[in-house]
Structure 1
Amino acid sequence: MSELLIAPVVLLLGLLGVAVVSDLRSHRIPNLLVLLGLVLGLVGQTWAAGFIGLGHSLLGMLIGFGIFLPMYAVGGMAAGDVKLMAMAGAFLTPHDALWAAFFSLIAGGVCGLLIVLVQGQALQTLGRYWLMLRARAYFPPHAAEVAGKPFPYSVAVLLGTLASVFWLTLGH
């Protein structure tokens, strides 16, 4: 993480913050915001480290995209969330992008768990998962079950990227 300068990190976190606000308000992440972030990440990395920086940015982008893409494919998240993680990866080295995606997935799980707990549906959700384990089959959530409703995953991407920046800054 020593390769990251403070200005690109602040810029990335600012872009993610704008995405969160948009996601909370309209359940959409603007493509223009993601495109702007991709360009800024690619240009910034290239300016800072030349072709090596460009390579890091491209690989970081592909890692963020590639890790989240399967969850989009199975309906676990929206396309905007996948593109947002790719954008975050464009600001990072491949190693750092991997950590950011990892922490974002953890943050998403924690956010989902908190939503289920706050809505008072923990037993209902656990019961459905227990049935799925026993039957070795997928049972979709009921219409009234909060576990079946999308939540703004941009929050998890912001939290995960923020956690990875601080984790990696500490030298881990």
Structure 2
Amino acid sequence: MLIEFLSALLLGAVIYDLVSHRLPNYYLLLGLLVGFAWQAWAYGWSGVISAGAGLLTGFALFVPLYVLGGMAAGDVKLMAVVGSFLGATGALWAGAYSLIVGSLLGILYLLYKGHLGKLVVRYWAMAATRSRIAAEEGDAARHRFPYAIAIAAGTLLSLYWTPI
């Protein structure tokens, strides 16, 4: 039941993100409430503690990316919701897989647009000059990326394939 509801929640988040490039707070709050309720129903107070630890872990994993401008706040909150379902260890695995999937999708998108070379040159120049160089107006690196896709894929991957 956990996997089914979490999968449905993530599917809804992906659809929201694809259509509107945002994740509504009411939708994320609903997911958070259900995550805590499920944990409490299944495991009692230890489940509530697990949900809280997962929420904090998921949030802590992605908030630095938000602060640096590489991720939207809704994506950080979605990872926190995922953590409330999976607990701290599950949130770590889901977050790690989500970052891997997101990186691969980003690289594939830049390859598709033919802008991977521009990105590599810009980051090489940034490393050499130790200063930030903004992407040009038409650069694919400036396009919005519906990261809920990566979070959904990474979370499901972590549920079905975790090497430990």
TM-score normalised by length of structure 2: 0.96
Aligned to 1:69: 63
Aligned to 1:4: none
Deviation, structure 1 residue 109: 0.9
TM-score normalised by length of structure 1: 0.92
Q: Output the CA distance in 2 between the equivalents of 1:37 and 1:45.
A: 12
Corresponding pairs, count: 164
Q: Output the CA distance in 1 between the equivalents of 2:134 and 2:143.
A: 11
Selected match of 1:130 from 104, 124, 132: 124
Residue type of the alignment partner of 1:50:
G
Indicate if the aligned counterparts of 2:98 and 2:152 stay in contact, CA closer than 8 A.
yes
Deviation, structure 1 residue 129: 1.3
Aligned to 1:36: 30
Q: What secondary structure is seen at the aligned counterpart in 2 of 1:91? A: helix
Q: What secondary structure is seen at the aligned counterpart in 2 of 1:92? A: helix
Deviations 1:41-98 (Å, cap 9, x if unpaired)?
Answer: 0010011011111111110011111111111111111111011111111101211111
Q: What are the equivalent positions in structure 2 for 1:3-152 lying under 5 Å apart?
A: 7-152=1-146
Indicate if the aligned counterparts of 1:140 and 1:148 stay in contact, CA closer than 8 A.
no
In structure 1, the gaps of 5 or more residues are 1-6
Deviation, structure 1 residue 33: 1.2
Deviation, structure 1 residue 149: 2.1
Q: Output the CA distance in 2 between the equivalents of 1:49 and 1:71.
A: 32
Q: Output the CA distance in 1 between the equivalents of 2:134 and 2:108.
A: 19
Residue type of the alignment partner of 2:79:
M
Q: Output the CA distance in 2 between the equivalents of 1:150 and 1:106.
A: 18
CA RMSD of aligned residues (A): 1.0
Q: Output the CA distance in 2 between the equivalents of 1:133 and 1:151.
A: 24
Deviation, structure 1 residue 28: 1.2
Indicate if the aligned counterparts of 2:21 and 2:144 stay in contact, CA closer than 8 A.
no
